[in-house]
Amino acid sequence: MTPPPDTDARAGRGGHLVAVVTGASRGIGRHVAHALEDAGWVVERGSSTVAPVSDRAAVTAWVEEVVERQGRIDLLVNNAGVMDAEVDLLASDPDAWWHQQEVNVLGPYLMTWLVAPHMAAAGGGRVVNVNSGVARRAGEVSTGYHVSKTALARITGSTHLAGLDRGIRAFDLMPGVVRTDMTEAMEAHADRTEWTSPEEVTTLVLALASGELDAFSGRFLRAGVDTVDSLRAMAARGLESGERTLDLVLRDDDPLA
C-alpha cells in the first residue's frame, strides 16, 4: 500500500502537502484529484475556466494565487490535454493541429516553468506529466496529438535534467486507455471492451507523489501494465541508461548515442 504523504514542517500552511492538477474538472484529472485528496493532500484543481494552460498570463496569476494561499506546491500533475479529429496529416486543420501543441506542449511547459522554482525554493517536488503510448511512434491519424505527446516526453526529460540538483523529479505517466468522454468519442476505441481502470492510474500517481518511485524520474511508466510492486522490483535491480526513455539510437556504435 502506498504510504500517506508526510505532514511535517515542510508541508503547506494547513499541515498538508499541496498538489496542483490541471484538467481536473473531468476524466483522468478528476480521478487523480479525488485520489490525492483521499490520501490527505490539498489539491488545487485547474481547468480551462480557472486558467487555460496555454495562457501565460492566466496561469502565472493562478500559480501565484496558489502559492499565496497554500505557501508551497509539492506536486504538479500536468493532465490537461486535447485531441483533434482522427484524420491524417494532409486532411488535418492547421489551426486545430496547432491548438493541440498549445495545450499539450506549451501548457505543461508553462506550468512546469512557473511551479518548479517554488518547488526548488522549498527543497524539491515532483512533476507528473500525463503522457500517452502514442508518444513512442508516428501516427497515421490524430497526428497533432502524437506530435504533442512526443514533445511532452522531451519536456519531462529536460525537467528531470534541470531538476536533478534542485530536488525536483519528473515522470511520464502513460495512463493506458481509461474510459472518459474523450476516449469514448474516439473511433479508434469504438469496439473496445477492456479499459484501464482509473484506480490503476491513481495508484501510480500516489506512488510517484510519495517519492518511492523516484528512480523513474525522466522515464515512462504505464498504468495497466506496471504496478507499484513491479516498479519497485525494477528499481531495485537497477535501470539501464536510456531504459524507458524516448531515445533514438541508430546502431550500437552510434557516435551520437
> Looking at residues 173-198, what average pLDDT do you find?
70
DSSP string, the chain: -PPPPP-STTS-TTSS-EEEETTTTSHHHHHHHHHHHHTT-EEEEP-TTT--TT-HHHHHHHHHHHHHHHS---EEEE-------S--GGGS-HHHHHHHHIIIIIHHHHHHHHHHHHHHHTT-EEEEEE--GGGGS--SS-HHHHHHHHHHHHHHHHHHHHHGGGTEEEEEEE---B--HHHHT-GGGTT----B-HHHHHHHHHHHHHTTTGGGTTSEEEBTTB-HHHHHHHHHH-PPTTTTS----SSTT-TT-
Question: Would you kindly state where each structural domain of the chain is located, as residue ranges?
Answer: 18-237
Q: What is the reported pLDDT for 195?
A: 63
Q: Which CATH number does the domain 18-237 belong to among 1.10.1040.10, 3.40.50.280, 3.40.50.720, 3.40.50.300? A: 3.40.50.720
Q: For 126-145, write each residue's pLDDT tens digit.
A: 999 999 988 888 889 999 99
Percent of residues, the chain, with pLDDT higher than 70: 86
* The pLDDT of residue 180: 65
Note the pTM of the prediction, 2 decimals: 0.89
- Across the chain, mean pLDDT equals 90
**Nearest-CA neighbor of 22 among 62, 68, 69, 67?**
62
